[in-house]
Amino acid sequence: MRASEAIGLQAADVDAQAGEVAVCALKGGLTRRYALPRDLVPLVRRWMKERGPQAGAFFTGRQGDHLSRQRLWQVVKTTAADAGLPSWVRFHSLRHSVGVHMVDARMPLESVKDLLRHRSIRSTEVYAATSLERRDGYLREMERAPEIVKVR
């Protein structure tokens, strides 16, 4: 998801029972459905039980309204710093990480392109150009780091 798509996400867009989320894409304007990662489904179900599908914004600020872009930036920056990630990490870095991990998992570039909703395969090919050895090194460091939260 892009940052604007995340802060615009409504609770009604999340189907915890089916384990899916409907995202209204800001680029291209189509609504697309994505499967939630299996380890997040129980957390989302608990959230939905507590707040309900009519809760309004899925990610909320202190007033219960949509999270602002500025607050999202602060949350990502603080979380990245707490995790020992570089200071240049931004919300969009998470999207790029997904692309890189899919390429590492040997998914066909066409599948990566489709999932990330790139218009051009050239946008997707950037992920294939990243060094596997360099990435493997910092991924091993992250897995060993006690500061990185492991979802169970």
pLDDT band at 14 (very low <50, low <70, confident <90, very high): very high
Looking at the DSSP assignment, which residues form a beta bridge with residue 101?
none
Report whether 16 contacts 48 (CB < 8 A).
yes
What count of residues does the chain have?
152
pLDDT tens per residue across span 68-79:
999 999 999 999
Token reading at 87? 């200071």
For residues 14 and 35, what is the distance between their CA atoms, to the nearest angstrom?
A: 10
Token reading at 116? 């990330």
pTM of the model: 0.67
3 state DSSP class of 23: strand
Q: Break the chain into its structural domains and give their ranges.
A: 1-67, 68-152
Q: CATH number of the domain at 1-67, please?
A: 1.10.443.10
Report whether 44 contacts 92 (CB < 8 A).
no
pLDDT band at 21 (very low <50, low <70, confident <90, very high): very high
Contacts 24+ apart (CB under 8 A), 73-82: 73/3, 82/147
